[in-house]
């Protein structure tokens, strides 16, 4: 019998957490939701590339970041086309032609809304919901009584993804709301389409004497209500409560004696309160909000006021027409059209950035989205082999 000594095998080194696909996926899901994150990570090695290329991973990545998607740019209605202007800097800048949409007659198409990564377009007789990131599009017939060729025209509309359990904004279903007035502009009407049922709701209405929804001003989502500015002889905000399916008009005529160019923008302010923004006759940007006091009273109060010289180069606005042409919901950001182009202004920091040379934009429809398309196409990288 041999009396040899037993030798123990050397202990195996613990596996790296990143060698576990589930843990690696959790790590990758935490990358920033900017367009360059996933393409660059996919170049690390084939294993990372395979994980990131999976559509299930894309879905989880979008769901994780859907509450805080980056602002990729804005869509604008031009005379005979719809253009996309990217805002982010390289390597996250999306080329403008990535989001081009080809129509037989682009001059007959009008953009109504951008929200939750979708774009709502009004065609001559139908509505179209378009996902620029995937290219998917859904045509919807205009509800009866809202036909664009009939007496009551579709003046405006909005769209949002339908809420799923947990309030996930990236549900595959969406809702479309259209609003219009009668021929004499005495009543406003609203109707809602659900992609889940494929049907329109019964229309609801509210009195709106001498007010008309502007055709170029997008609606604003504040909590669970959509808002459109109304102009005309009187001024107001048309509010549609998505949960109660209730339409009403908030009159702001008395508070707009100093408004210039008669155009206001509904927008959310701190705490999810309704506010409105306009360019005043005193050449200031004014933000008002709805405020309730301890005694149960409520009314509009001035929240902030901005002098143009605080953030704009004097050469861009001196002796020229200035107009607010868009906002970014929940971001305290607005767009200004000047004689030298469009500027994006952050109200908190008062930082200003020129984002377009175009001088005749009627409205900037902000496009925010968690963009997961185009792996390997980042700032000149064109599908190189992974590094390992």
The 10 Å CB-count burial string (b at 16+, else e) for 152-183 is bbbbbbbbbbbeeeeeebbbeebbbbbbbbee
The torsion angle over the Cα atoms of residues 240, 132, 97 and 336, rounded to 10 degrees, is: 20
pLDDT-derived band of residue 157, with 50, 70 and 90 as boundaries?
A: very high
CA angle centred on 300, ends 295 and 301, rounded to 5°: 90
pLDDT at 9 over 80: no
Cα separation, 34 vs 52, whole angstroms? 14
4/92: higher pLDDT: 92
pLDDT at 177: 95
Please name each of the domains of the chain with its CATH number. Answer: 18-63 (no CATH), 66-368 (2.120.10.30)
Task: Write down the mean pLDDT value for the chain.
Answer: 81
pLDDT at 381: 43
Q: For the whole model, what pTM was predicted?
A: 0.85
Which one, of 127, 242, 247, 233, lies nearest residue 187 by Cα? 247
Q: For 327-375, what is each residue's pLDDT tens digit? A: 998 888 999 988 889 999 998 888 889 999 888 888 899 999 998 876 4
């Amino acid at each position: 019998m041999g009396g040899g000594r037993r030798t123990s095998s050397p202990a195996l080194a613990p596996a790296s957490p990143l060698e576990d696909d589930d843990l690696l996926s959790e790590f990758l899901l935490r990358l920033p939701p900017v367009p360059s994150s996933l393409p660059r990570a996919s170049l690390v090695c084939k294993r990372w590339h395979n994980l990131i290329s999976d559509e299930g991973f894309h879905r989880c990545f979008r769901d994780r970041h859907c509450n805080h998607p980056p602002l990729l740019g804005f869509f604008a209605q031009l005379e005979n086309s719809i253009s996309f202007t990217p805002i982010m800097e390289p390597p996250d800048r999306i080329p403008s032609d990535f989001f081009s949409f080809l129509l037989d007659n682009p001059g007959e198409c009008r953009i109504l809304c951008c929200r939750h990564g979708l774009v709502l377009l009004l065609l001559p007789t139908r509505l179209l919901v378009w996902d620029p990131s995937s290219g998917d599009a859904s045509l919807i017939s205009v509800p009866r009584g809202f036909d664009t060729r009939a007496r009551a025209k579709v003046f405006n509309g909005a769209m949002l993804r339908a809420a799923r359990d947990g309030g996930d904004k990236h549900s595959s279903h969406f809702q479309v709301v259209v609003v219009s007035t009668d021929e004499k502009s005495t009543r406003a009407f609203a109707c809602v389409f659900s992609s889940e049922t494929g049907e329109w709701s019964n229309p609801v209405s509210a009195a709106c004497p001498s007010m008309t929804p502007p055709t170029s001003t997008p609606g604003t989502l504040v909590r669970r209500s959509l808002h459109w500015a109304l102009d005309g002889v009187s001024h107001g905000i048309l509010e549609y409560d998505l949960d109660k399916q209730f339409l009403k008009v908030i009159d702001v005529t008395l508070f707009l004696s100093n408004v210039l160019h008669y155009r206001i923008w509904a927008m959310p302010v701190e705490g999810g309160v309704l506010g409105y923004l306009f360019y005043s006759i005193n050449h200031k940007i004014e933000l008002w909000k709805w405020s309730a006091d301890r005694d149960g009273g409520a009314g509009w109060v001035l929240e902030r006021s901005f002098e143009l010289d605080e953030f704009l180069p004097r050469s861009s606005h001196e002796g020229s027409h200035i107009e607010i042409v868009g906002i970014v919901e929940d971001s305290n950001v607005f767009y200004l059209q000047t004689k030298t182009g469009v500027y994006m202004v952050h109200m908190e920091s008062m930082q200003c950035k020129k984002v377009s040379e175009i001088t005749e934009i009627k409205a900037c429809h902000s496009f925010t989205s968690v963009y997961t398309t185009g792996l390997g196409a980042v700032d000149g990288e064109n599908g190189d082999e992974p590094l390992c």
